[in-house]
Structures are given as structure tokens and as C-alpha cells.
Structure 1
Amino acid sequence: MSTTTIAFASEFSQYPAGRYRNDGPFPGEAFRDDLLVPRLGEFDVVEVNLDGAMGYGSSFLEEAFGGLVRLGKYTGETLRKKLRLRCEDDPSVIDEIWQYIDAAHS
């Protein structure tokens, strides 16, 4: 089983914000399409280490993670198997992400 880790703050940004690319330099759409989707396609399991960022807005998280399901790229069930989330800085972010994934599935 192949596994990889995305170190969010060093591979993407310490300052994620916005939903779409026209919202700024580090939106959820860019994280999802440029980092997360390619890694999910290449590896069996992708761990996303969310530590080190200066906070996460709801629009960023919904687009980056809920968008995976909403846009038909993955099912919530598949993401439960392939996606591992880690955030020791603020563990509530993990619950928030799964809520967006589950809501997108409904």
C-alpha cells in the first residue's frame, strides 16, 4: 500500500484563504486541484498534515475537501479509506473537514 504525506504549510501555504483561484494566491481550489487530487490519484493513502498554517476559513476547507465529493472526483466512502488528516494545532479542523465531506455527499 503506497502512502504519502502532504505537509500543508511547507508544500502549499501558511496562509490559506478563499475558495476560488481568483480569491487570492492560496485558495481551496488550488490546494485541491494542484496537490490533493494528484496525490489521491497516485497513492493509496494520503495523509494531510495541516499543522503550521495560521488558520483555515470555512470556504477554503469546504472547497478543498468538500469539493472532492461535490465535483464528483471521489465519494465520501472512498475518502474515508484514502485520506488521513492530522492537525495537532487545532484538532477541530479535522472534524470540520469531515463534516464538509459528509455534507457534500448528501
Structure 2
Amino acid sequence: MMTINICRDFTETPGARYKSEGEFSGEEFRDDLLKHKYLEARARNEKLIIELDGGYGYATSFLEEAFGGLARMYPQNEVLDTLSFVSNDEPSLIKEINEYIIHANDKKKKKRKH
């Protein structure tokens, strides 16, 4: 079992959606840390535990870009099967993130801007 503790391994102060919007964005987290650990967990057929506690909160845009963005890159069912979330501070985040993964490719979603 592999683990990412966002606060310890990335930042205590997660930012916005895109790298262009500042440091510690959801895009940066996904591209620089999450994607690599996800692929490693898939290759090992292991769960990747994402620990959400310890920081100063998460913007919706950070969570959607990090985890919804991962589900736009890889099959949603595989992302759901591989990632497992832990939050004692804010357990409602787990359901929220799973919704972003499930709905990552909804046609109603706005197109990504760059």
C-alpha cells in the first residue's frame, strides 16, 4: 500500500486549479506527484492512499483538477479502484472527490482552458 499525505508530501496550503494561477495548484500536484504515484500503484496492483488532513483546506478547483483531471487521463473505474481517501478532519471531502472522479468526463462540464 502506497501513501501520499498532501500536507507532508506536497504543501500545507493547496492553491487553485492551474499552474498559471500560482503555486501548489491542483494541476501541479497531479502532474508532479499524483500521476507518478498512481502509475506506480497500478503497476504494483496496490491501493494508493491519499491522506487529506493536516493542511489549511482545499479549493474545489484544486480537488477537481487533481483528481477529476487524473480521471480524464486514465479510466475512471481504475482511478476509483486505485485511490483511497482518508480524512478525519473533513470526511465530506472524500465523497466530493469521488464525485469529481465519477463526473470528470461529463459532457456538461466546461472545457478546460489554458
Q: Same fold by TM (over 0.5)?
A: yes
Q: Is the 8 A contact 1:18 1:26 kept in 2?
A: yes
For residues 66-105 of structure 1, what are the structure 2 equivalents within 5 Å?
A: 66-70=68-72, 73-105=73-105
Q: Deviations over 1:4-35 (max 9, x none)?
A: 10011011111101011111110000111111
Partner of 2:22: 24
Q: CA deviation at 1:74?
A: 1.5
Q: Deviations over 1:24-80 (max 9, x none)?
A: 11000011111110001112321010101111111001000001122xx21221012
AA at the equivalent of 2:40:
E
Say what the alpha-carbon RMSD is for the aligned residues. 1.0
Question: Which residue of 52, 55, 58 corresponds with 1:56?
Answer: 58
How far apart are the structure 1 equivalents of 2:16 and 2:6? 16
How far apart are the structure 1 equivalents of 2:66 and 2:32? 10
TM-score (normalizing by structure 1): 0.91
How far apart are the structure 2 equivalents of 1:12 and 1:5? 12
Q: Is the 8 A contact 2:80 2:101 kept in 1?
A: no
AA at the equivalent of 1:66:
G
Partner of 1:42: 40
Q: Is the 8 A contact 2:51 2:85 kept in 1?
A: yes
Structure 1's consecutive aligned runs of 4 or more residues displaced over 3 angstroms after TM superposition are: none
* Greater C-alpha radius of gyration: 2
> What is the count of residue pairs matched by the alignment?
102
Q: Is the 8 A contact 1:75 1:105 kept in 2?
A: no
Q: Percent identity?
A: 43
Partner of 1:15: 13
How far apart are the structure 2 equivalents of 1:12 and 1:34? 9
